Amino acid sequence: MRLSDLYPPKPRKPIQALEAKHSPAPRQSAQSGAADAGATPARRLFLLSASAAAAAAAAGLVPRLVRPAFADDSRRAGASAHFEVAFSDAEWRKRLSPGQYEILRQEGTERPYSSPLNDEHRAGTFACAGCAQPLFSSRTKFDSHTGWPSFWTPLDKAVGTRTDTTFGMIRTEVHCSRCGGHLGHVFDDGPKPTGLRYCMNGLAMTFLPQAA
Protein backbone atom coordinates (compact mmCIF):
# COMPACT_ATOMS: atom_id res chain seq x y z
CA MET A 1 0.00 0.00 0.00
CA ARG A 2 1.31 3.43 -0.95
CA LEU A 3 1.47 6.31 1.50
CA SER A 4 -0.85 8.25 -0.82
CA ASP A 5 -3.52 5.59 -0.27
CA LEU A 6 -3.56 6.29 3.47
CA TYR A 7 -3.21 10.08 3.23
CA PRO A 8 -4.84 11.17 -0.05
CA PRO A 9 -4.81 14.87 -1.07
CA LYS A 10 -7.87 16.85 -0.07
CA PRO A 11 -10.19 17.75 -2.99
CA ARG A 12 -10.55 21.38 -3.98
CA LYS A 13 -13.71 23.18 -2.86
CA PRO A 14 -16.14 23.83 -5.76
CA ILE A 15 -17.39 27.32 -6.51
CA GLN A 16 -20.58 27.94 -4.56
CA ALA A 17 -22.58 28.91 -7.65
CA LEU A 18 -21.66 25.72 -9.48
CA GLU A 19 -22.24 23.68 -6.36
CA ALA A 20 -25.76 25.06 -5.96
CA LYS A 21 -26.53 24.43 -9.64
CA HIS A 22 -25.18 20.91 -9.99
CA SER A 23 -25.68 19.54 -6.45
CA PRO A 24 -29.42 19.31 -5.71
CA ALA A 25 -28.91 16.87 -2.82
CA PRO A 26 -28.76 18.40 0.69
CA ARG A 27 -25.25 19.25 1.82
CA GLN A 28 -23.76 17.44 4.80
CA SER A 29 -22.35 19.30 7.78
CA ALA A 30 -18.96 20.90 7.25
CA GLN A 31 -17.32 18.48 9.69
CA SER A 32 -18.79 15.24 8.34
CA GLY A 33 -18.48 16.39 4.72
CA ALA A 34 -14.80 17.21 5.08
CA ALA A 35 -14.16 13.85 6.76
CA ASP A 36 -15.93 11.89 4.00
CA ALA A 37 -14.34 13.91 1.19
CA GLY A 38 -10.84 13.37 2.49
CA ALA A 39 -11.18 9.66 3.26
CA THR A 40 -10.78 6.95 0.65
CA PRO A 41 -12.08 3.44 1.49
CA ALA A 42 -8.52 2.44 2.35
CA ARG A 43 -8.12 5.38 4.72
CA ARG A 44 -11.49 4.76 6.40
CA LEU A 45 -10.53 1.11 6.96
CA PHE A 46 -7.17 2.19 8.36
CA LEU A 47 -8.78 4.66 10.78
CA LEU A 48 -11.36 2.14 11.97
CA SER A 49 -8.71 -0.54 12.48
CA ALA A 50 -6.44 1.85 14.40
CA SER A 51 -9.30 2.97 16.65
CA ALA A 52 -10.34 -0.61 17.37
CA ALA A 53 -6.77 -1.64 18.14
CA ALA A 54 -6.29 1.26 20.54
CA ALA A 55 -9.54 0.46 22.34
CA ALA A 56 -8.65 -3.21 22.64
CA ALA A 57 -5.18 -2.41 23.93
CA ALA A 58 -6.61 -0.05 26.52
CA ALA A 59 -8.90 -2.81 27.76
CA GLY A 60 -6.02 -5.29 27.84
CA LEU A 61 -7.67 -7.51 25.21
CA VAL A 62 -4.76 -7.99 22.84
CA PRO A 63 -1.71 -10.24 23.11
CA ARG A 64 1.81 -8.85 23.27
CA LEU A 65 2.61 -7.41 19.84
CA VAL A 66 5.80 -5.56 20.71
CA ARG A 67 8.10 -5.66 23.65
CA PRO A 68 6.91 -3.03 26.17
CA ALA A 69 9.07 0.04 26.68
CA PHE A 70 9.18 0.77 30.39
CA ALA A 71 10.10 4.14 31.82
CA ASP A 72 12.65 2.29 33.95
CA ASP A 73 14.18 -0.17 31.51
CA SER A 74 16.38 -1.94 34.06
CA ARG A 75 14.05 -4.95 34.31
CA ARG A 76 14.31 -7.33 31.40
CA ALA A 77 14.32 -11.08 31.15
CA GLY A 78 17.78 -11.96 32.38
CA ALA A 79 18.47 -8.49 33.82
CA SER A 80 17.42 -9.55 37.31
CA ALA A 81 20.35 -8.43 39.48
CA HIS A 82 18.04 -6.26 41.57
CA PHE A 83 15.80 -9.14 42.62
CA GLU A 84 16.27 -11.77 45.32
CA VAL A 85 15.67 -14.61 42.87
CA ALA A 86 17.86 -14.17 39.78
CA PHE A 87 18.59 -16.62 36.96
CA SER A 88 20.05 -16.32 33.50
CA ASP A 89 17.68 -16.24 30.56
CA ALA A 90 18.71 -19.79 29.64
CA GLU A 91 17.94 -21.01 33.16
CA TRP A 92 14.52 -19.32 33.16
CA ARG A 93 13.71 -21.11 29.90
CA LYS A 94 14.52 -24.43 31.57
CA ARG A 95 12.49 -23.71 34.68
CA LEU A 96 9.36 -22.36 32.99
CA SER A 97 6.95 -23.68 30.38
CA PRO A 98 6.96 -21.79 27.06
CA GLY A 99 3.77 -19.99 28.03
CA GLN A 100 5.07 -19.05 31.46
CA TYR A 101 8.35 -17.82 30.00
CA GLU A 102 6.55 -15.68 27.41
CA ILE A 103 4.56 -13.92 30.13
CA LEU A 104 6.89 -13.82 33.14
CA ARG A 105 10.14 -13.05 31.30
CA GLN A 106 8.94 -11.46 28.02
CA GLU A 107 5.97 -9.44 29.35
CA GLY A 108 3.45 -11.33 27.21
CA THR A 109 -0.33 -11.49 27.67
CA GLU A 110 -2.43 -14.65 27.60
CA ARG A 111 -5.77 -14.88 25.80
CA PRO A 112 -8.75 -13.85 27.95
CA TYR A 113 -10.70 -16.72 29.56
CA SER A 114 -7.85 -19.14 28.75
CA SER A 115 -6.65 -19.67 32.34
CA PRO A 116 -8.34 -22.06 34.79
CA LEU A 117 -7.39 -19.62 37.56
CA ASN A 118 -9.97 -17.19 36.24
CA ASP A 119 -12.62 -19.64 37.50
CA GLU A 120 -10.79 -20.61 40.70
CA HIS A 121 -13.07 -19.80 43.65
CA ARG A 122 -11.63 -21.92 46.46
CA ALA A 123 -9.98 -20.42 49.52
CA GLY A 124 -6.23 -20.22 49.18
CA THR A 125 -3.28 -18.22 47.88
CA PHE A 126 -2.14 -17.28 44.39
CA ALA A 127 1.65 -17.46 44.08
CA CYS A 128 4.25 -16.50 41.48
CA ALA A 129 4.86 -19.30 38.98
CA GLY A 130 8.48 -18.21 38.70
CA CYS A 131 9.61 -18.20 42.33
CA ALA A 132 6.60 -19.38 44.40
CA GLN A 133 6.26 -16.12 46.31
CA PRO A 134 2.68 -15.64 47.61
CA LEU A 135 1.07 -12.78 45.70
CA PHE A 136 -2.68 -12.60 46.30
CA SER A 137 -5.21 -14.00 48.76
CA SER A 138 -8.40 -15.56 47.41
CA ARG A 139 -10.26 -13.20 49.75
CA THR A 140 -9.37 -10.29 47.47
CA LYS A 141 -10.26 -11.99 44.18
CA PHE A 142 -13.34 -10.80 42.27
CA ASP A 143 -14.98 -11.37 38.90
CA SER A 144 -13.97 -8.43 36.70
CA HIS A 145 -15.65 -9.94 33.59
CA THR A 146 -12.44 -9.33 31.64
CA GLY A 147 -11.29 -12.95 31.30
CA TRP A 148 -8.24 -12.59 33.58
CA PRO A 149 -7.90 -13.35 37.32
CA SER A 150 -8.46 -10.04 39.11
CA PHE A 151 -7.80 -8.85 42.65
CA TRP A 152 -8.43 -5.61 44.51
CA THR A 153 -5.16 -5.74 46.46
CA PRO A 154 -1.97 -7.85 46.63
CA LEU A 155 -0.36 -9.31 49.73
CA ASP A 156 1.98 -6.99 51.62
CA LYS A 157 5.18 -6.21 49.65
CA ALA A 158 4.42 -9.05 47.21
CA VAL A 159 4.49 -7.02 43.99
CA GLY A 160 6.24 -4.05 42.43
CA THR A 161 5.07 -1.69 39.70
CA ARG A 162 6.53 0.22 36.77
CA THR A 163 5.22 2.60 34.12
CA ASP A 164 4.40 0.82 30.86
CA THR A 165 4.11 2.94 27.69
CA THR A 166 3.23 0.13 25.30
CA PHE A 167 0.80 1.00 22.45
CA GLY A 168 1.33 4.70 23.06
CA MET A 169 -0.55 4.59 26.38
CA ILE A 170 0.51 4.96 29.99
CA ARG A 171 -0.34 1.95 32.15
CA THR A 172 0.98 0.55 35.41
CA GLU A 173 2.77 -2.78 34.99
CA VAL A 174 2.83 -5.24 37.92
CA HIS A 175 5.62 -7.71 38.61
CA CYS A 176 6.70 -10.09 41.37
CA SER A 177 8.87 -8.26 43.88
CA ARG A 178 11.01 -11.37 44.48
CA CYS A 179 11.98 -12.43 40.93
CA GLY A 180 10.77 -9.56 38.73
CA GLY A 181 8.43 -11.79 36.74
CA HIS A 182 5.76 -9.90 34.81
CA LEU A 183 2.26 -10.53 36.18
CA GLY A 184 -0.06 -8.06 34.46
CA HIS A 185 -1.32 -4.51 35.02
CA VAL A 186 -3.25 -2.59 37.66
CA PHE A 187 -6.16 -0.25 36.85
CA ASP A 188 -8.25 2.15 38.92
CA ASP A 189 -11.65 0.68 38.03
CA GLY A 190 -11.85 -1.99 40.73
CA PRO A 191 -14.25 -2.48 43.64
CA LYS A 192 -14.07 -1.11 47.15
CA PRO A 193 -12.23 -0.79 49.44
CA THR A 194 -9.23 0.04 47.19
CA GLY A 195 -10.93 0.84 43.88
CA LEU A 196 -8.11 -1.04 42.12
CA ARG A 197 -8.15 -3.95 39.68
CA TYR A 198 -4.98 -6.04 39.58
CA CYS A 199 -5.54 -7.77 36.23
CA MET A 200 -3.17 -10.75 36.28
CA ASN A 201 -2.15 -13.44 33.81
CA GLY A 202 -3.14 -16.87 35.07
CA LEU A 203 -0.02 -18.47 33.57
CA ALA A 204 2.11 -16.19 35.73
CA MET A 205 0.67 -17.73 38.90
CA THR A 206 -0.05 -20.99 40.67
CA PHE A 207 -2.82 -21.65 43.18
CA LEU A 208 -2.28 -23.14 46.64
CA PRO A 209 -5.61 -24.20 48.17
CA GLN A 210 -6.13 -23.55 51.84
CA ALA A 211 -5.90 -26.63 54.04
CA ALA A 212 -9.28 -27.84 55.29
Residues 137, 126: Cα–Cα separation, whole Å: 6
Residues 181, 129: Cα–Cα separation, whole Å: 9
Q: Is residue 179 among the annotated active site residues?
A: no
Residues 209, 71: Cα–Cα separation, whole Å: 36
Q: Comparing C-alpha atoms, which of 181, 179, 205 is closest to residue 86? A: 179
Q: For residue 141, with 0-12 CB atoms within 10 Å meaning exposed, 13-18 middle and 19 or more buried, which class applies?
A: buried
Residues whose CB falls within 8 Å of the CB of residue 2, separated by 6 or more in sequence, listed in order: none
Give me the catalytic one of 128, 131, 179, 199. 199
Phi, psi of 70 (to 5 degrees): -85, 150
Residues 97, 90: Cα–Cα separation, whole Å: 12
| Residues belonging to the active site | 199
